[in-house]
Amino acid sequence: MKIALAQINYHIGNFKNNESRVFDTIEKAKTMGADLVVFAELAVSGYPPRDFLEFDDFIAKCHKSIEKIAGWSNGIGVIIGAPSVNPDKKGKDLYNSAWFIADGKVQSVHHKSLLPNYDVFDEYRYFEPGTDFKTIDFKGKKLAITICEDLWNIGDDLLYRGNPMDELFKQQPDIMINIAASPFHYKQADERKNILLQNVAKYQLPLFYVNHVGAQTELLFDGGSLVINAKGEVCSEMAYFKEDLQVFDTDLLTVCNHSKPKPGKMELIHDALVMGIRNYFTKLGLSKAIIGLSGGIDSAVTAVLAERALGKENVYGVMLPSEFSSDHSVSDAVALARNLGIKHDIIPIEEGTKTVNHTLKPQFDGTSFGIAEENIQARMRGLILMALANKFNYILLNTSNKSEAAVGYGTLYGDMNGGLSVLGDVYKTDVFLMARYINKDEEVIPENSIIKPPSAELRPDQKDSDSLPEYDILDKILYSYIEERQGPKEIIAMGFDKKLVDRVLKMVNTNEYKRYQTPPVLRVSSKAFGMGRRMPIVAKYLAEND
């Protein structure tokens, strides 16, 4: 039997688009001689549809799509993900299902059993777990269909009590097929491959795995669909960050020696962010981005990623020097803009800032220059950028990095403005590495933007290190707390100073209110700010020493 794996970039709720892509893929798979074409989890609706699933009209449109796909299935079998209605009045109203379609009609529907409800996943909010496990007989082969998480309950640290594949294995299947929606983070591909290899080792069956590709707001899907033979050899590792369609003969999987160079961390993050920006704009019907260029490394990296995602004609860089800005801040920003070939302007903020300060003089009289005056400058920059965005239909890209977002080193309604946060899940130390990666072939980002001490330039001779620990220390503490969920005692035991740890963790927790008001953050780590990290604002945990 010949099986086609269809790795497609779907668009949530865009049924016309998704149907068209599925139809074109089915027709192409037929011409490639495929007997069966396999699409990803919830392909019909896009993933994750979230509360759209609570609308009867949305579910009706999903089922209408299934009817259309059935009409296209003459001469080929189709496995595709879509929600299905739970006929039982008990339990949730829907299942997350794999639909098996052939000969012009739906042959069977198979429900996801293990519903992830952690980090970015919230499936138990909508779906009832499947409890009925049946294989499919097709073209002389018995197929065991599972959906994403159904294969992840393996190894020593089990999250669920049951294992769907154990039940299916009792029916002596010939092939495992897993349709998935596995969001990207820079370690995910290795973790995912390891899980799939463990399943092959346990059941001694070949495995066909198909994943989503593309971005859905903050969630990025890297593709990387896999075919693994019964001996645990990878027969194919499909494209990353691109659509792909490949056909495999099940009789030719006995000998596989597939090897693909493993991308480095910076290459993965770079490609993920470029895809994330591009899809955010195209799926919203947008094209143009505006960026505040400070001459520093964060805005420089953001501008490069935007130019690579949208094209130089669609990126506008604006320099907004204050009375405290150094000459090299402007010259470095201009050099970057020229290197990228993007439109750029210089708009000083000093006059506008003086006007605001003059307006507030009666209220500020008798006080000294401080945070309020610094933030007026940042908010003046935000005001100008948003005015340009409104006037000329740009989307402002936020340039704050994860280190700054973690400790609240940013100004609400100022430099924290934006429609999309590009680097909000990238620590400052990794921003430096990203700049080096970008410059690996030629100097795109001016060297001075990389080597000069980071500064907000809101007061004379200001440096980030005046307010924060050095980033190489800060980021290790933040990673331990945010990604590893380690408490202060554990982090101190790693050799960090107690006062420093207490201070950093307090900053993280007490600035939760700021992060609630920031734009969506493109997720590239295992624990990003946003939907995958849910913290109360008014909690007191670590707000003061015990």
Catalytic residues: 41, 112, 148
The alpha-helical segments, DSSP class H, found in 284-366 are 297-310, 327-340, 350-359, 361-364
Question: Which has the closest alpha carbon to 131: 88, 81, 102?
Answer: 88
CB distance 417 to 385 below 8 Å:
yes
CB distance 162 to 138 below 8 Å:
no
DSSP element (H, E) containing 107:
strand 105-111
Cβ neighbors of 359 (< 8 A, separation 6 or more) are none
**DSSP states of 40-86 as a string?**
-TTTTT-S--GGGGG-HHHHHHHHHHHHHHHHT-TTSEEEEEEEEE-
What does the block give as tokens for 379? 């908010």
| Residues 181, 185: Cα–Cα separation, whole Å | 13
What does the block give as tokens for 74? 């003459």
What does the block give as tokens for 87? 């006929």
CB distance 58 to 50 below 8 Å:
no
Cβ neighbors of 35 (< 8 A, separation 6 or more) are 1, 2, 3, 76, 77, 138, 139
CB distance 91 to 127 below 8 Å:
no
Q: Which residue do the tokens 């700010």 mark? A: 529
Q: Which residue do the tokens 């070939």 mark? A: 341
Q: Which string of b and e fits 349-366 if b means at least 16 CB within 10 Å?
A: beebbeebeeeeeeeeee
Question: Which has the closest alpha carbon to 392: 268, 286, 233?
Answer: 286
**DSSP states of 377-391 as a string?**
HHHHHHHHHHHHHHH
Q: Which residue do the tokens 């420093």 mark? A: 500
